[in-house]
Amino acid sequence: MEGVDHLAHERSKAQFDVDQMKVVWVGSRHALQVSDRIARLVASDPVLRKDNRTMMTRKELFKNTLRKAAHGWKRINELRLSEEEASWFRHYVDQPAYTDLHWGMFVPFIKGSGTEEQQKKWLPLAYKMQIIGCYAQTELGHGSNVQGLETTATFDPKTDEFVLNSPTLTSSKWWPGGLGKAATHAVAFARLITDGKDHGVNGFIVQLRSLDDHLPLPGITVGDIGMKFGNGAYNSMDNGVLRFDNVRIPRDQMLMRVAQVTREGKYVQSNVPRQLLYGTMVFVRQTIVSDASTALSRAVCIATRYSAVRRQFGSENGGVETQVIDYKTQQSRLFPLLASAYAFRFVGEWLKWLYTDVTQKLQANDFATLPEAHACTAGLKSLTTSATADAIEECRKLCGGHGYLTNSGLPELFAVYVPACTYEGDNVVLLLQVARFLMKTVSQLPSGKKPVGTTSYMGRAEHLIQCRCNVQKVEDWLKPSVILEAFEARAIRMSIACAQDLSKFSNQEEGL
C-alpha cells in the first residue's frame, strides 16, 4: 500500500524505550551520538555508495574498494576525526582486506611476538601504513594444523640470514587477505631449522614487494587466488598465494620474543612464556564474535522490516491483507534470531572483558585462566559464526523470493559472512578443542579440584545431576536463576555422559 508507513505503525507499538535500547546496544549515549553522526556522514558521501557493488566486475570491485578506502582516510584527516570517530568511520565504510589483516593480525602479532627492538622498528611503519602487512600462516595443504606447515626457514650462520623455502606445492601460502595485491610485508610462518634440527613453527617478518615499484622481490612468487563465492562480498578482497624460492632475510626478522636464534645459530628459549602468544588469538576470536552480532543484526533488520511491509492472505471483504509479521509461523522463525543478535552482542562485550583480564594476567605470568579463555573464545567463535551463517540464510527465506534478489542485501551478506565458519579455526575443530577442555575438567572433579570461571557450576555436579526443575507456571521461566540452573544441569549431565562414553576407548582421540 503506497504511502503507508508500516514501520512507523510497528514502532509505535513498542513496549520499551527504543532510544534507551539503542544506548544499550552501542554501549553508551555518547557512543550512540558519535556512531549516528558518523553514519549520516558516510551515507551522505557519494564516493562511499554501496548500491552498485554487485554490478561490478572483479577488477572494478577491487579498484572501487581501494578508492573508497583512500577517500575514507582522506576524509578522516580532513575532518580531523578523533580516534573514536575514525573507528566508527572505518566501521561504516567498505574496507579492503588489507586493512582488516594489517590492523587485525599483522600489527597485533608483532606486538605480541616481537621484541621491544622489533616493535620499535616495525610498528611505526605499520601505524603510518608506510608498509602494508598481512598474516601468512595457512598453506594449501594445512590450515588448522599449524604444526603441519611445510614452509621452511633454515638459518645460514655464514651470512647471519634465514633462507625461506616452499619445498612442495602444498607448502604454498594460501588465502591470506591483502596478500594477492596490496601487501608489502607479511608475518610468515615457517618451520625453524638450525644445524639440521627442526624447532617447530615460528613467525618471520618478510618483505614481499618493492616499496618503490611494488613488484615482487627476487625469489617471491605472489598473486591473487581468484574469484570467491557470491557477487561482491569477498571478491573485493585480494586473498593471495605466496611461494618462497631461497628467499634470504636477516636473522633479526625472526620474531624473537618467545625464542631466539643467536649469531652462532643456537636456538634459545626466552624466559617469556609461549602462552603469551595466545593473547593475539583471544583478541582475534573475540572480534569475530562481536562481528557475528553485527552481521546477524543486519540480516534480522532486513527480514523484520520486510515482514512488516509485506502483506499476504487473510483479507476479508476486499480489505487489506495480513502483515506477514503477524503470522505466528513468521514470528517463531524470526524472533529467536532477533534475540540471538542481542545475545551475541552482549557475549561479545563479555569476551572483550575476558581478553583484557587474560592479557593483564599473562603479563603478570599468571596463566591460570588461559585454558578457560581459549575454550570460551574457541567455543563462542564456533557457535556464533555457525548460528549467524544459518540465520542469514533463514532471513533470506523469511523474505520469500524477494530475499533472493541481490538488492535485498541478503545474498551478499551471506556470501561475505559464511567464510567466518572456516577462518581462524574450522568450527568443528574448535568445538573438539572445547570438548577436550570439558573432558579434562570432568576428569579432575574426583580429585576435589574446584573448577573456576565459566565451569564453576561443575563443582556442584552432584546437586545438578539429581535436581529437578521446580517450575510451576509460565512466569517462572522469567526468573534467570531457573533458566541458568536448567542449562547447568543439562551441561554437566551431557559432559559426564560424554566422558563415560570416551572412557570405553583406549585412546580418547578415537572417540572424538
Name the CATH architecture for the domain at 275-450: Up-down Bundle (1.20)
Question: Which residue in this structure is represented by grid cell 542485501?
Answer: 409
Residues 276 and 242 sit within 8 Å (Cβ to Cβ) = no
Interatomic CA distance for residues 454 and 111, integer angstroms? 29
C-alpha cell recorded at residue 69: 578506502
First to last CA, the chain: 56
CA dihedral defined by 309, 310, 316, 320, rounded to 10 degrees? Answer: 40
Q: Output the nine-digit C-alpha cell for 189.
A: 610462518
Is the pLDDT reported for residue 4 higher than 70?
Answer: no
Q: How far apart are CA 206 and CA 184, in angstroms?
A: 9
59-73 burial, b for 16+ CB within 10 Å, e for fewer? eebbebbbebbeebb
Which residue has cell 588489507? 98
Question: Of 95-104, 122-131, 227-236, 281-290, where does mean pLDDT reach its minimum?
Answer: 95-104
pLDDT at 258 over 90: no
Find where cell 573507528 sits.
87
CA dihedral 382, 383, 386, 387 (to 10 degrees): -170
Comparing 31 with 512, the larger pLDDT belongs to 31
Residues whose CB falls within 8 Å of the CB of residue 287, separated by 6 or more in sequence, listed in order: 104
Nearest to 208 by CA among 172, 243, 252, 171: 243
For 245-364, list the strands marked E by DSSP.
247-250, 259-261, 267-269
Instruction: Tell me if residue 60 is catalytic.
Output: no
pLDDT reading at 281 higher than 80: no
Pair 331, 304: CB distance under 8 Å? no
d(C-alpha 224, C-alpha 94), whole Å: 20
Question: What is the dihedral angle through the alpha carbons of 375, 98, 173, 281, rounded to the nearest 10 degrees?
Answer: -20
Determine the average pLDDT of the residues in 5-19: 86
Residue whose cell numbers read 554437566? 492
- Identity of the amino acid at 205: I
Question: What's the pLDDT at 512?
Answer: 60
Instruction: Yes or no: say if 315 and 323 are a contact pair by the CB < 8 Å rule.
Output: no
The string of pLDDT tens digits covering residues 21-34 is 999 999 899 999 99
pLDDT given for residue 297 in this prediction: 96
Alpha helices in 102-225 (DSSP H): 107-113, 116-127
Q: Quick: pLDDT tens for 188-213.
A: 999 999 999 999 999 999 999 999 99
pLDDT at 95: 59
Cell 618478510 sits at which residue?
206
Identify the three-state secondary structure at position 364.
Answer: coil
Q: Answer positive or negative: Cα dihedral of 205, 208, 213, 218.
A: positive
> Do the beta carbons of residue 170 and residue 143 sit within 8 Å?
no
* CA dihedral angle for residue 326, residue 332, residue 335, residue 337, rounded to 10 degrees: -140
Are residues 71 and 40 in contact, defined by beta-carbon separation less than 8 angstroms?
A: no
Q: Are 105 and 134 in contact (CB under 8 A)?
A: yes
- Domain extents in the chain: 130-272, 275-450, 467-512
Contact 248, 163 (CB under 8 A): yes
DSSP state, 360?
Answer: H
- Helix H or strand E encompassing 204: strand 197-207
User: Residue for cell digits 573475540?
Assistant: 286
Better pLDDT: 501 or 320 = 501
Q: What does the pLDDT look like over 345-386, one tens digit per residue? A: 999 999 989 888 888 887 777 878 888 888 999 999 999 999
Is the domain defined by 130-272 classed in CATH 2.60.120.10?
no
- Beta strands 197-207 and 152-156 are unpaired
- Sign of the alpha-carbon dihedral angle for 467, 472, 473, 478: negative
Q: What is the identity of the amino acid at 260?
A: Q
pLDDT, position 492: 95
396: cell is 533470506
Q: pLDDT per residue over 52-82, tens digit each?
A: 877 888 888 888 888 888 898 889 889 999 9
Rg of the chain taking only CA atoms, in angstroms:
26
Catalytic residue among 424, 475, 485, 510: 424
In the chain, the largest separation of any two C-alpha atoms, in whole Å, equals: 93
> On the CB side of 464, how many CA atoms lie within 13 Å of its CA?
22
Q: Which of 32-36, 141-145, 469-473 has the lowest mean pLDDT?
A: 141-145
